[in-house]
Amino acid sequence: MSISRRSVRAHLGAALLLVSGMTSAAEQPASVAPRMATSAQLTAVEKSLAGLLAGREDFADGMSAIAYKQHVAWSSSEGGRLLVPTYVRFKGEKSGYCRLTTLSDDVQSVELISISEEPNAPDCRGFRTLRYLDVNGDGQLDVISSSTIKSNTFDGNIELPVVYVSNGEQPGGYCYSGSASAALAPSDMVSDGKIKAALERHQRRLGLAEFTCDPRP
């Protein structure tokens, strides 16, 4: 199955909304249970996202809102970054994109994480699953998600796994990992154990020490 692959063009515009289409909660083993955002921190997140909207001309007009607030989590047990699954629409685009936004520990610096053209599928209907796991063993939780995407080959939707890994050298402290994303099938997204097993098989097969970032677009 193929899906429509339109790139996010510069200076297109759009509304940035936190995803409201997630249908399964983030599940965590006790050893890496995420530290969830407090009510005060969520309020600060909303203000930061509003500032991001106001500061970028390529976003379409619209509101910034948090739906599944219980899924906004910190990347580590102390400090770290806030991980915010995000729905973004750009000017000139009728459809939206499912992305990751991160915020610094003081909730002042906000970054919409870049993603390469191929997995940046339009017509995103929302996050289907969201899990936080320390994929690379660096003490920071990585974001393993899947999005519901409209198919361009039949009348229906498909599920697209996407993985973001922590990397302190990248803007926002996170990046898209094509190698990790390619290791996952929708059937792997049902549990942490299946995700870990699929990623470990992929690492052994390719001889990867860790999952790395794709080049920034």
Torsion, CA 7, CA 151, CA 87, CA 104, rounded to 10: -70
Give the up-direction half-sphere exposure of residue 129: CA atoms within 13 A in the CB hemisphere. 24
pLDDT band at 159 (very low <50, low <70, confident <90, very high): very high
The proportion of the chain whose per-residue pLDDT surpasses 70, expressed as a percent, equals: 78
Q: Give the 3-state DSSP-derived string for 86-102, with helices as H, strands as E and coil as C.
A: EEECECCCCCCEEEEEE
Domain ranges of the chain: 16-22+29-206
Kindly report, residue by residue over 104-127, the tens digit of the pLDDT: 999 888 998 988 766 666 678 888
The pLDDT of residue 68 is 59
Two tokens at 14?
């759009």
Kindly report, residue by residue over 14-27, the tens digit of the pLDDT: 334 444 445 444 44
Average pLDDT over residues 42-56: 82
- Predicted TM-score (pTM) of the model is 0.82
Report the distance separating Cα 101 and Cα 109, nearest Å.
11
